[in-house]
Amino acid sequence: MIEIRDLHKSYRMGSNSLHVLKGINFSVAEGELVSIMGSSGSGKSTLLNILGMLDEADLGSYTLDGVPIKNLNEKIAARYRNKFLGFIFQSFNLISYKNALDNVALPLYYQGIKRGERIEKAMAYLEKVGLADWAGHLPNELSGGQKQRVAIARALASDPKVLLADEPTGALDSKTSYEVMNLIQEINDEGRTILVVTHEPDIAAMTKRIVNLKDGKIIQDTKVNQVRALENV
């Protein structure tokens, strides 16, 4: 599903250059649930943003579902992003003046789906995350956990091949974090490929494979026996 080879990324600030990713190699097969661990500043978000086609590497190759991701014009990149990828962020990134239903329906708008069908689909995804009764509520009327569930429903709405989550539990208390991880596990149980960036070992233990980043390199990449989040709720 994902194949990256010898990936490098530097940020340039004036005459200075910060080498953040220093030759990353890894592959993710369909159906995996992978966590990317590492201390703050180790390059986790940089890597996830490149995988999410929100940023480009300086060197190396990236293939997503058989498609080489390189030098795509913005229109094609946007189309692939829409088709292949769903995003979940620490800060939810919901649109504050749209209710839960309309937030979930938005990616479907960009896919050119008609309003009636958008609403129907969005409602089905809200049901899936247990929030059908909250469809008409604005984000500021929802708890953190509920907001993240809406964001997960929105990420699923375009039926992406891969879900990319950057610290999805970073703004939540432990109990709520485990509820969100339970949902992520259930979505992965259905076969969806998911990558989760986290710096919390208990969250990483709820995935099936832990990739450790340090100083821009992968220092460890291990399959683990997944802890089920429900056991902790």
For residue 41, the partner it binds in Mg ion, ligand ADP, none, with Cβ less than 5 to 8 A by kind, is: ligand ADP
- C-beta of 13 vs 71, nearer to ligand ADP: 13
Nearer to ligand ADP, 24 or 101 (CB): 24
List residues near ligand ADP by CB under 6 A. Answer: 11, 13, 18, 20, 38, 40-46
Q: Which is nearer to ligand ADP, 115 or 214 (CB)?
A: 214
HEC states along the chain?
CEEEEEEEEEEEECCEEEEEEEEEEEEECCCCEEEEECCCCCCHHHHHHHHCCCCCCCEEEEEECCEECCCCCHHHHHHHHHHHEEEEECCCCCCCCCCHHHHHHHHHHHCCCCHHHHHHHHHHHHHHCCCHHHCCCCHHHCCHHHHHHHHHHHHHHCCCCEEEEECCCCCCCHHHHHHHHHHHHHHHHCCCEEEEECCCHHHHCCCCEEEEEECCEEEEEEECCCCCHHHHC
Enumerate binding residues for Mg ion (CB under 5 A).
44-45
113 vs 211, beta carbon nearer ligand ADP? 211
Closest distance to ligand ADP from the beta carbon of 42 (Å): 4
Residue 43 binding: pick among Mg ion, ligand ADP, none (C-beta 5-8 Å cut-off by kind) = ligand ADP
